[in-house]
Amino acid sequence: MKFTFYVTAALTIAGCNSPGGKSANTNANDDSSKQTEITKLIEIKPVKITAGQLPANIKFKGKLQEAWQWQDKLGDNILITSLVDPYRVKTYIVNDHEHTAELHAFHFIKKDTAYKLLWPLSDAVKNCPFDITLAFINAATTITDLDKDGIAESKLQYSIVCRSDVSPAGLKLVMHEDTSKFTLRGFMWLAQSPDQIFDITEKDVNLEKLPKPKEEWEQYSQLSGRYETEKEFRNAPLSFLEYARKEWLKHVKESFD
């Protein structure tokens, strides 16, 4: 019995001090290092590029507005936004004053040696006899990784309306992660008088959560600067919706200056 005890104790002590025990600690350190390397590898750094820097096989419709390139877990990404200037569409009833304008976005991913379309986005103002507003909001295109999963989210915002007065334009915010799409739709905020103050916050920007006013003019006034619903973000990480709310309010003000 004594002999067995001594042997067992000796083996236990040897195991604690053996190269195998040291290797376990080394492996833990290695795993930590590998995780750090992976994090570094998927760090997303979007770069704005010019039309001349676009690969030859990338084709898109319209006049280039912006192009962004970045690396993530999906590979080499390129995001393009473009506009098609107002043009006449031949119809059975010809009206010289009616025009159509288009807006587009394209996300390409490099597969093997060529870029393939991941998703397109298109919108339009059709057969408008008045003034057309259809444009991406300046400085509102962003590339982020809010959920830190190594796959970037792209976010676009644009105004859209056919109008003959000073009513606010429609506003859309569209966020993509891979092929998943999340959208906010509503109206821009346009001051109706020089002394009007913008006082909408994240707490009251969602029309779905507000009581509906009885008077029609109050209902119309309530629309300005707000979006209809957050339903499309229900299956998205909370960080996406929180970011979208802030970005909506950041770019919702419209001006004719």
Q: Residue 224's domain spans which residues?
A: 42-251
Which residues have a Cβ under 8 Å from the Cβ of 209 and sit 6 or more positions away? none
Give the C-alpha separation, 184 to 226, whole Å. 9
Kindly state whether residue 256 falls inside one of the protein's structural domains. no
pLDDT in tens, 58-111: 999 999 999 999 999 999 999 999 999 999 987 666 667 899 999 999 999 998
- Structural domain tally of the chain? 2
Establish if 26 belongs to a structural domain: yes
What are 99's two structure tokens?
């025009």
Q: Are residues 190 and 211 in the same domain?
A: yes
Q: Alpha carbon of 151 to those of 37, 44, 198: distances in Å?
A: 16, 8, 35
Query: What CA–CA distance (Å, rounded) separates 217 from 240?
Result: 33
Query: Is residue 46 located within the same domain as residue 170?
Result: yes
Residues 153 and 198 in one domain: yes
Answer yes or no: is 87 within a domain: yes
Does some domain include residue 68? yes
Question: Tell me: the pLDDT tens digits for 179-224?
Answer: 999 999 999 999 988 899 999 999 999 999 999 999 998 998 999 9
Predicted confidence (pLDDT) per residue in 233-253, tens digit: 999 999 999 999 999 999 999
Based on the fold, state whether residues 20 and 95 are members of the same structural domain. Answer: no
Distance CA 82, CA 181 (A): 19
Length of the chain, in residues: 257
pTM of this prediction?
Answer: 0.82
Q: Are 104 and 32 in a shared domain?
A: no
Could you tell me if 18 and 75 lie in one domain?
no
Poorest-confidence range of 28-37, 145-154, 201-210? 28-37
Is the pLDDT confidence value at 21 over 50? Answer: no
